[in-house]
Each structure stands twice: as C-alpha cells, then as structure tokens.
Amino acid sequence: MRSQNEFSYGGDATVKRPELNKDISDQEWNDFVYNRKSLRGKHWELWQHLSGCRQWIKVERDTATHEIFNTLKANEDISQ
C-alpha cells in the first residue's frame, strides 16, 4: 500500500485518443478533448505513480465512496 501523495491523477481512463491521421468529426474530437461523463459511482480512471515507478495505471474507483475495486496496468484493457 502506497501513500496517495505519490500518485497523480490522469482523468477518465475510458476516453480513447483518436488514431493519428484519422479523419474524424469535430464532435468526435471534442468528445476526446473536452466532454466527460464523470458520473457518480464506479469510475475507471488513470493514475500515475509519479513519485515512484512512474507507471501509469488504470484504477476502478467509486467516486462517491472513494472505494477502490480494481487496478490494471497501463497495457491492460478495461473489460467492461
């Protein structure tokens, strides 16, 4: 168990960056850059172990209770 102070937040983990050179609509691009669901309850999000191994990880956390359910490495896909 590591201190929260060692980690930095990286936002919604389900947002996918559009592929390079792909022709996409303004809406798709804005959904990536600006628009977020940010709901109450379970939330997959990114954290970086900034003051540590510097790995980005994916964390499933409850935004209402702060309970943590699940973690994945950067290269693992969120199954739901």
Partner 1 sequence: MTQSFRLENVGLINRNKKISFKFNGKKYYGYEGDTLASALIANGVHLIGRSFKYHRPRGFFGAGVDEPYAIVQLYRNGETEPNIKATEQELFDGLVATSVNCWPSVKFDIGAINNFLKIFLPAGFYYKTFMWPKSFWYKVYEPFIRKAAGLGVASIKHDKERYEHKYEYCDLLIAGSGPSGLASAYAAAKNGARVILAEEKSRFGGTLLTSDVNIGNKSGKEWAEGIIAELTEMPNVTIKNRSQVFGYYDHNMLVMSERISDHLPKTKKFHPKQRLWYIRAKEVLISAGSIERPIVFGNNDTPGVMLSSAAKEYLKVYGVLVGKKPLIFTNNDSGYETAIEFKKNGIDPIILDTRENPQSEIVDDAKELGINIKFSYVVVAAQGYKKVKSADIAKISVNKEELGEIENIKCDCICVSGFWTPTIHLASQSGNKTKFNENIDAFVPGKSKQNETTLGAANGVYTLDETLKSSFETAHELSKKITNNDNKISFPNVIEKKSTTHDKFWCVPLPKGKNYKRFLDFQNDVAVSDIEIALKEGYRSIEHVKRYTTLGMATDQGKTSNLNGLQLVSKIENKVVPAVGHTTFRPPYSPVSIGAIVGREVGKHSKPTRKSPMHNWHEQNNAVFVDAGVWLRPRYYKIGDENLFEASKREAKNVRTNVGVCDVTTLGKIDIKGPDAGELLNRVYTNAWLKLPVGKARYGVMLREDGIVMDDGTTTRISENHYHMTTTTAQAANVLSHLEYYLQLVWPELNVNVVSTTEQWAGAAIAGPKSRDLLQKLFPSCDVSKEGLPFMGYMEGDLFGVKARIFRISFSGELAYEVNVESDNGNFMWEKIIEVGQAFKIQPYGTEALSTLRIEMGHVAGSELDGRTIPYDNSLEGLVSKKKDFIGKRSLTKEAFTAEDRQKVVGVVPLDKKTSIPEGSHLVKDSNAPLPNPKLGFISASCWSVEYDNPFSLAILKDGKNMIGKKLFVMSPLKNKVIPVEIVSSHYVDPKGERVRS
Partner 2 sequence: MQKYSIFNLVKNALSNHENWDLAWKDPTPKKEYDVVIIGGGGHGLATAYYLAKEHNITNVAIIEKGWIGGGNVGRNTTIIRSNYMYDDNALFSEFGMDLWRSMSQDLNYNVMFSPRGIINLAHSDAQMNIYARRGNSMRLNGIDAVLLNREQVKEIIPMADFSENVRFPIFGGLMQPSAGTARHDAVAWGYARQADSMGVDIIQNCEVVGFDVSNGKIKGVRTSRGDISAKKIGLCVAGSTNILAEKLNMTLPIETHLLQACVSEPVKPVLDRVVTFGAGHFYISQSDKGEMVMGGDLDGYNSYAQRGNLPTLQHVLTEGIAMMPFLSKLKMLRTWGGIMDMSMDGSPIIDKTHIEGLYLNCGWCYGGFKATPASGWTFAHTIAQDRVHKLNSGYSLNRFNTGHLLDEKGLGTRTWIS
Residues 6+ apart with CB under 8 A from 22: none
Q: How far apart are CB 7 and partner 2 at their closest, in Å?
A: 9
The label of the residue with tokens 């940010």 reads 38
Planar angle of CA 20, 26, 29, nearest 5 degrees: 45
68 contacts partner 1 (rule: CB under 8 A): yes
Q: Are 1 and 47 in contact (CB under 8 A)?
A: no
Residues forming contacts to partner 1 in the complex (CB under 8 A) are 1, 3, 8, 10, 17-18, 20-21, 24, 29, 32-34, 46, 48, 50, 54-56, 65-68, 74-75
Residues forming contacts to partner 2 in the complex (CB under 8 A) are 3-5, 8-9, 11-12, 26, 30-31, 33-40, 43, 45, 61, 63-66
